[in-house]
Amino acid sequence: MKESIQRVGGAMSGMVIPNIGAFIAWGLITALYIPTGWLPNEELSTMVGPMILTLLPLLLGYTGGKMVHGHRGGVIGAIVTTAIIVATSSPQFLGAMAIGPAAAWILKQIDSRLQDNIPEGFEMLYDNFSLGILGWGLAVLAFNIISPILDAITNALGNGAAALVDSGLVPLADIPIEVAKVLFLNNAVNQGVLTPLGAAESAETGQSIYFLLETNPGPGLGLLLAYWFAGTGMWKESAPGSIIIHFFGGIHEIYFPYVLGHPIMIIAMWAGGISADLWFVATGAGLVGPPSPGSIFAYIAMLPKGGAFAVLGGVAIATAASAVVGVILLKARPIKETDAGVEATIESNIPTV
């Protein structure tokens, strides 16, 4: 199991690392120009949706395919990722990271059997039509079969969180919530499940704990601090900038690639989230409304009278727990750094045919 986790982490790391800059660019645009951002701008904010729904998944799908089979693998990875994007309504980072390398691997198997037998002068014809025909077939397959599976995963995570909340097991709801968040389903869980529950409770009591469950910036801050203290390479170097965007700008999506790139770090997120939720329940914490975006400043703006200690204490606890567990995990299971190492890891996991 440990080896499998490391392999998955290495593969995801190789897809995420080259694209961290794109995630940071998207985070800055979002933090600055959305209606609740620092410099609201209706025209510039129109870039936010296309970038998270289309650009970022395509980059991951292309990068994953390229690691398996060069530029041809990247192209077919992007083609099939596009089918997933069009067929679903949520950001398909999970789909891109799965289908991009898979499509490239299929193309690689075909090329290994046919390319050497192509008559001289027909190489370009083969390259173009083999990729185009296979891309067409896999895109249709992904659109009709893979995308409903991804939608089912999305619905299952949201329904799981709702069931735990409804049953009163609020701290345990953090388990599906954190998984959904790093798959960029945070808005679906928060706006579709938690905010309506929080609004109803706040209307009766003046505050609600539901506004704290998904929006708490503490676990993400702790995770990024762990990378800053114990990470290496680009992960370590990019962490300080990501901290500013996440904690002060309220754009939680900026830390999701740090978990996708090293999946075992979800344990650090659970440690921070569950610890904070236990504190929130014990102290009767809550906010008067949903903090948007989920920055520390939005938290302060939504504090009920006399509720600062309970709410901010939970943020601090989440930060400490996530940071400590994150450092331990990074020391025990260091994240892989080089694309070459990741490519070798992917190759070692591809079955021979």
What is the count of structural domains for the chain? 1
Supply the pTM of this predicted model: 0.74
Tell me, what's the pLDDT at 94? 78
For the chain, what's the residue count? 353
Query: Which of residues 317 and 123 earns the better pLDDT score?
Result: 317
Q: Which long-range contacts (CB under 8 A, 24 or more apart) does 342-347 make?
A: 342/10, 342/11, 342/13, 342/14, 342/67, 343/14, 343/67, 343/68, 345/7, 345/10, 345/11, 345/14, 346/10, 346/11, 346/14, 346/67, 346/68, 346/101, 347/68
Write out pLDDT tens, residues 171-199: 888 888 888 888 777 777 777 678 777 87
Indicate whether 104 pLDDT > 90. yes
Q: Which two tokens stand for residue 306?
A: 């006399």
Least-confidence region, from 16-25, 42-51, 120-129, 238-247: 16-25
Average pLDDT over residues 126-137: 92
Quick check: helix, strand or coil at residue 287?
strand
Tell me, what's the pLDDT at 295? 85
Report the distance separating Cα 156 and Cα 90, nearest Å.
14
Write out pLDDT tens, residues 262-294: 888 999 999 999 999 999 989 989 888 888 778
Element (H, E) at 42: none
Average pLDDT over residues 73-83: 95
Indicate whether 353 pLDDT > 60. no
Average pLDDT over residues 7-26: 75
Indicate whether 4 pLDDT > 50. yes
Tell me, what's the pLDDT at 350? 38
Tell me, what's the pLDDT at 8? 61
Indicate whether 303 pLDDT > 50. yes
Least-confidence region, from 27-36, 135-144, 247-256, 320-329: 27-36
Q: Say what percent of the chain tops pLDDT 70.
A: 88
Q: Where are the beta strands (DSSP E) in 35-142?
A: none
Average pLDDT over residues 106-126: 87
Write out pLDDT tens, residues 23-48: 878 878 877 888 867 788 989 989 98
Query: Which of residues 179 and 76 earns the better pLDDT score?
Result: 76
Tell me, what's the pLDDT at 267? 94
Query: Which of residues 97 and 104 earns the better pLDDT score?
Result: 104
By the 8 A CB rule, do 66 and 74 touch?
A: yes
Write out pLDDT tens, residues 330-345: 999 887 654 434 444 3
Locus of tokens 């905010």: 195
Quick check: helix, strand or coil at residue 87?
helix
Indicate whether 79 pLDDT > 90. yes
Tell me, what's the pLDDT at 205? 81
Indicate whether 222 pLDDT > 90. yes
Indicate whether 311 pLDDT > 50. yes
In 3D, which of 54, 48, 53 has the Cα closest to residue 25? 48
Asked if residue 293 has a cis previous peptide bond (ω within 30° of 0), the answer is yes
By the 8 A CB rule, do 316 and 217 touch?
A: no
**Domain residue limits at 270:** 2-349
